[in-house]
Amino acid sequence: MRLRFKATHVVLAMLCVMYFITYIDRVNVGTAASEIQKELHLTNTQLGLVFSAFAYPYLLFQVIGGWVGDHFGPRKTLFWCGMIWAAATIATGFVADLATLFIARFALGFGEGATFPTATRAMQYWTPATSRGFAQGLTHAFARLGNAVTPPMVAALMLWLTWRGAFVALGLVSLIWGIIWVWYFRNEPKDHSAITAEELAALPPRPAGGRPQVPWGPLLRRMWPVTLTYFCYGWTLWLYLNWLPLFFKNSYSLDIKSSALFASGVFFAGVIGDSLGGILSDAILKRTGNVRLARLSVTVLGFAGALASLFPILFTRDITFVAACLSAGFFFAELVIGPMWSVPMDIAAKYSGTAAGIMNTGSALAAIVSPLVAGFVIDMTGNWYLPFLMSMGLLAVGLVSAFLMRPERPFEDREPAVLPAGKVVAAE
């Protein structure tokens, strides 16, 4: 009997691979940082600038990229994004100084900026509504798997090919993914030759009206609490992604292989958190039919658990205990991914790519500020624990701001404005 894979499953698998590759390409510099820093004579502050270079265009292209994905479709958008981030990764292997390294990382952010919002648009049409949390959790679990395998993989590639050769090899893999994607994927599931009637019946209906004209003002007003909450999560995420290998290396005088293994262990906890968060959120939704409960309960649990897990590292220097606390903190922080990335689809199905881009500007802004602040604080104080203390404060803010999100109320182009007295007037 011939084994046949459903087209919807293949598309989800290809998106999982994309998330896996994009995170390898964005965090590989963290593992190679010690060798890059030594060869290019960079301070920790300059290294923080390099880490943040990715995030400037990444921030800009969240909303723009989400609109492009909505307007032109995921097939072409993700193909060209893949070509750009692949070229940028390869170019990183040929940098000569701080300026060229910054430019290469900047170009990587340009290529990856539209990927996640556009992938959300693809999932909007290729995933049943009751499986959104699972799909988002699974794809982001592959992103965290990319985080987890990057430290030992890049360390091994560096021993074999040098750090420059490692970037070239990783960029070539991205090129291959882009070619396969544009060959297989179709914007409309009904246009795919392998789709079945059973699969089409389970997918959500397409909104009428063709390419949507985004009502920016009302949509921004609906999404700002989601963006703020995601910024608070992103601050901790980017601290982990950029500085964790160096944290273990410098705090405990480990070599690059040992520090990579410790960092990898922490990141594997995030793989479990991503998958479990989406599954829990969808299970609550199916059991209760309450979208707000399904999204907020898991999100709040994630923020509270991460905050509680990180607190003990302020009182110990035992590497095993610290690694366990950091792993638990990352696990809980990653619980929020599945429900948070489902919220743009819950709120604004018609503009899900744009809404996801608005939300992800929070993480993109954190990707700029978090590594810069961490590098500056470490240079000024020599204390590698202070950046984690700052993250705890942001986790507390995210815990509170999560209650301002309203995923249970679908977005309408002309949102009503609610007056303090409870009266409702039409938005202008």
54-76: per-residue pLDDT in tens?
888 888 877 777 777 777 889 99
Q: What is the pLDDT of residue 319?
A: 86
Domain definitions of the chain by residue range: 7-188+216-408
Angle at 222 between CA 393 and CA 215, to 5 degrees: 140
Q: What is the pLDDT of residue 427?
A: 38
Whether 240 shows a pLDDT value over 70: the answer reads yes
197-233: per-residue pLDDT in tens?
887 777 777 665 555 677 888 888 899 999 999 999 9
Q: Which one has a higher pLDDT value, 247 or 400? A: 400
Per the structure block, which two tokens stand in for 423? Answer: 């009266």
Whether 4 shows a pLDDT value over 70: the answer reads no
Whether 104 shows a pLDDT value over 60: the answer reads yes
Q: Which one has a higher pLDDT value, 357 or 179? A: 179
Bridge partners of 418, per DSSP, are 424
CATH topology for 7-188+216-408 is: Growth Hormone; Chain: A; (1.20.1250)
Neighbours of 238 (CB within 10 A): 27
Whether 44 shows a pLDDT value over 50: the answer reads yes
9-28: per-residue pLDDT in tens?
888 999 999 999 998 888 78
Euclidean distance between CA atoms 114 and 360, whole angstroms: 10
| Measured CA distances, 275 to 180, 238, 251, 268, 338 (Å) | 25, 19, 31, 11, 7
Q: Which of 236-245, 310-319, 394-403: highest mean pLDDT?
A: 394-403
Share of the chain above pLDDT 90, in %: 32
- DSSP state, residue 210: S
Average pLDDT value over all residues in the chain: 84
Whether 3 shows a pLDDT value over 50: the answer reads no
> Of 73, 47, 410, whose CA–CA distance to 246 is shortest?
47
Gyration radius from the chain CA atoms: 21
Strands 416-418 and 424-426: antiparallel
> Of 121, 47, 51, 10, whose CA–CA distance to 357 is shortest?
121
321-337: per-residue pLDDT in tens?
988 999 999 999 999 98
Whether 299 shows a pLDDT value over 80: the answer reads yes
**Confidence tier at 415 by pLDDT (50, 70, 90):** low
| Measured CA distances, 20 to 116, 165, 187 (Å) | 12, 20, 21
Whether 301 shows a pLDDT value over 80: the answer reads yes
